[in-house]
Amino acid sequence: MTQEPRPDFGFVRVAAAVPRLEVANPDFNLRQILAIARRADEQGAQVVVFPELSLTSYTAGDLFHQHLLLDRAVESLLELTEASSGIHPLLVVGFPLAAEGNLFNVAAVVSGGELRGLVPKTYIPGYKEYYEERWFASARELVASEITLGGHQVPIGTDLLFRAQSGSEVVIGIEVCEDLWGPLPPSSFQVLHGAHLILNLSASNELVGKADYRRLLVAQQSARGICAYAYASCGVGESTQDVVFGGHAMVAEDGAMLAESRRFVPEGELLVADVDVEHLRLDRERTTSFGDSLHAFPPMAWRMVDVELPMHAGAPLRRPIDPAPFIPRDDEERNRRTEEIISIQTSALMKRLSHARIKHLVVGLSGGLDSTLALLIAVRAFDSLKLPRTAIVAETMPGFGTSDRTRGNAERLAKACGVTLETIDITEGCLRQFRDIGHDPSVHDVTYENVQARYRTMVLMNKANQLHALVLGTGDLSEIALGWNTFNGDHMSHYNVNAGVPKTLVRYLVGWVAAQPAFSSARSVLGDILDTPISPELVPGDQPGTVAQRTEEIIGPYELHDFFLYHFARWASRPRKIELLAQQAFGGHYDAGTIRKWLRVFVTRFFANQWKRSVMPDGPKVGSVALSPRGDWRQPSDADVALWLTDLD
């Protein structure tokens, strides 16, 4: 019985190697390159890129005119080619090539005992500490499209792309150091013609602040090209005379830095990361303007060289997998992003109030996270518009399952924020509704719960009419995704400031606001709200005023659902891939069975509740995932979920 090949889910394992090299010593350098290539092979790398002119060293100077060095460099390349038959990954190394009466700075692509192709450097620097024009010609001076090396014809040129024939079928483009610094890098044309992964063999010396610039340059090129970009620059062993090299290696993907090496490490560095080619393909498909630049230049002909890559090593993945993808990682970025998110919500609400010429707002305040965030945004908006906070009417509407804790927190929060507080007990109204429709109030089913939710919405809408006000929605993005809202109940409002904010981010935003000086009077109650279990509070507890329902016990942990939502909606990942990522992100916290159980719940509920999303109220888009039918998400309400559930079987 033939075993089904393991899916790679679009991942390609890339290594950027900074070996310990010696100036003008090809024999030593070859041994170091082979040693680090074997290390990369042991770590499951499928592609390894080395620094510029790595077989000779970049800093050989006028020794590049010595044919003893040039001949030995070619011999070393051929030895490397022969040795590659016992090394699985594709190897890309640099060497000087004498051809057609010129000397070219070349990247050589080697795998499986064969020399697959040569890509010469296009932009040759001749300024400041760089003297390359003294020795090397530009790729533009090359005439031939093939040369003979080791008795074999080898394709050469800047029109080469390397296409993997198995697994993710990644297409690889290559540029050399200064090529990236130019206003029109060769990689910009390579990505437009299909390259997903760009390899850069570099020799960038160290100056104060230069590493920061390189980092920005690599990340920005990966973002502009919607590609992965692996960069390897020569290390400290090549430092000589007035220049010092640090050995900077990076792997970036679509604007994000996946991995970065240490610098100034004498023994060299090996950086390994998994890039997601499936993500890149999706972003290019969605970004319909991506290929428009093709029409700004004359048509270009490209040659595809087929290469074989080893199978991806599989889990664990060598890439950061954030268990909380909606929350920024480091403190500085987190504070900046949080202020930006809240400013987006506040500005959106201010615009809606100003356009409607409305000076009053009605919000249902439950003492839970979502309504708390909505009230905090309303307060900021009214302060910015110089409207009195008392024009915000917070309605507490206790029902059959309302706990003393949440009701008390709602009252304390309204007082701390200086808004108008009204309490309308909905129990009598709901009992009257039960009598009208003939429902037994002792039966705590969905009818029992939804009557309460719809009654509360009716109160809010009627109160808004009375005050010529807007009803502010509170439901968050996670609830919208799962359909965890009552149609024509909490599903409805005049404007929903939380529509683009997932539950994990709601929690973080409330905590961030609690720490701000402007809300110091509300800090204590906000802390207690953060500590309160999430509950719809629609069913009475065993004792009056206690909680009977805990949302995350019913539908699953929000941290898992937000993770699933991000990878499903942002990256269109199939369930099996999401499961793999979740197992790595939450390993040790949730077992595989638990992750699969709640992933099935997420997929089922997401498909089943599109009809609610199709008629959801306006609300601001905050991040890269949004489910508004007028903006980012246009799913048929009657799409069949079977294919996605089968993927998990």
SS (H, E, C) 362-397: EEECCCCHHHHHHHHHHHHHHHHCCCCHHHEEEEEC
Does the bond joining 299 to the residue before it have cis omega, within 30 degrees of 0? Answer: no
Catalytic residue, chosen from 132, 177, 178, 417, is 177
CA distance 72 to 49: 21
CA distance 572 to 483: 19
CA-nearest of 438, 246, 456 to 365 is 456
Using one digit for the tens of pLDDT, what is the confidence trace for 569-606?
A: 999 999 999 999 999 999 989 999 999 999 999 999 99
Q: State the average pLDDT for the chain.
A: 95
Is a pLDDT exceeding 90 seen at residue 378? yes
| Phi-psi category of residue 366: left, alpha or beta, with phi > 0 → left and psi -120 to 50 → alpha | alpha
Please tell me the number of Cα atoms within 13 Å of 221 on its side-chain side: 32
Q: Is 121 a catalytic residue?
A: yes
In the prediction, which pLDDT does 582 show?
98
In the prediction, which pLDDT does 447 show?
97
Quickly list H helices, 43-84. Answer: 67-83
| DSSP conformational letter for 317 | P
Catalytic residue, chosen from 52, 253, 449, 559, is 52
Residue 4's pLDDT band, with cuts at 50, 70 and 90, is: very low
Q: Is the dihedral of CA 485, 490, 496, 501 positive or negative?
A: negative
AA letter at 225 = G
CA distance 314 to 19: 26
Residue 3's pLDDT band, with cuts at 50, 70 and 90, is: very low
**What is the Rg, in whole angstroms, of the alpha carbon atoms belonging to the chain?**
31
Using one digit for the tens of pLDDT, what is the confidence trace for 392-422?
A: 999 999 999 999 999 999 999 999 999 999 9
Using one digit for the tens of pLDDT, what is the confidence trace for 504-560?
A: 999 999 999 999 998 899 999 999 999 999 998 889 887 766 777 899 999 999 999
Q: Is 177 a catalytic residue?
A: yes
**CB-based contacts of 616: which residues, under 8 Å, 6+ apart?**
480, 491, 496, 499, 627, 628, 629
> Could you give the domains of the chain?
11-307 (3.60.110.10), 331-555 (3.40.50.620)
The pLDDT > 90 percentage for the chain reads 90
Asked if 44 and 319 count as a contact pair (C-beta separation under 8 A), the reply is: no
Asked if 487 and 612 count as a contact pair (C-beta separation under 8 A), the reply is: yes
| DSSP conformational letter for 263 | S
In the prediction, which pLDDT does 576 show?
97
